[in-house]
Amino acid sequence: MRKKIVAGNWKMNKNLQDGIELAKQVNQQVLGNNVTVILCTPFIHLSEVSKVISKDSLFLGAENCASEASGAYTGEVSAEMIKSTGATHVIIGHSERRAYYNEDNKTLNKKVKLALENELTPIFCCGEVLAERESGKHISVVKQQIEEGIFDLSPEQFSKVVIAYEPVWAIGTGVVASPEQAQEMHKVIRHLITEKYGKDAAGNTSILYGGSCKPSNAKELFDKPDVDGGLIGGASLNADDFMGIVNAF
Binding site for ligand 13P (CB under 6 A): 9, 94, 166, 171-172, 210-213, 231-235
Task: Report the nearest approach of ligand 13P to the CB of residue 114 (Å).
Answer: 20
166: annotated active-site residue: yes
Considering the complex, state which of residue 125 and residue 150 has its C-beta at the smaller distance from ligand 13P: 125
Nearest residue to ligand 13P, scored by beta-carbon proximity: 233
**Residues counted in the chain:** 249
Beta bridge partners of 92: 124
Task: Report the nearest approach of ligand 13P to the CB of residue 171 (Å).
Answer: 4
How buried is 220 (Cβ within 10 angstroms: 0-12 exposed, 13-18 middle, 19+ buried)? middle
Considering the complex, state which of residue 45 and residue 94 has its C-beta at the smaller distance from ligand 13P: 94
How buried is 30 (Cβ within 10 angstroms: 0-12 exposed, 13-18 middle, 19+ buried)? buried
- CA nearest 222: which of 209, 211, 231? 209
Considering the complex, state which of residue 163 and residue 231 has its C-beta at the smaller distance from ligand 13P: 231
Task: Report the nearest approach of ligand 13P to the CB of residue 70 (Å).
Answer: 27
Considering the complex, state which of residue 164 and residue 197 has its C-beta at the smaller distance from ligand 13P: 164
Task: Report the nearest approach of ligand 13P to the CB of residue 219 (Å).
Answer: 16
138: annotated active-site residue: no
Helix extents (H) in 105-238: 105-117, 130-134, 138-150, 155-158, 179-197, 199-204, 215-222
Q: Catalytic amino acids? A: 94, 166
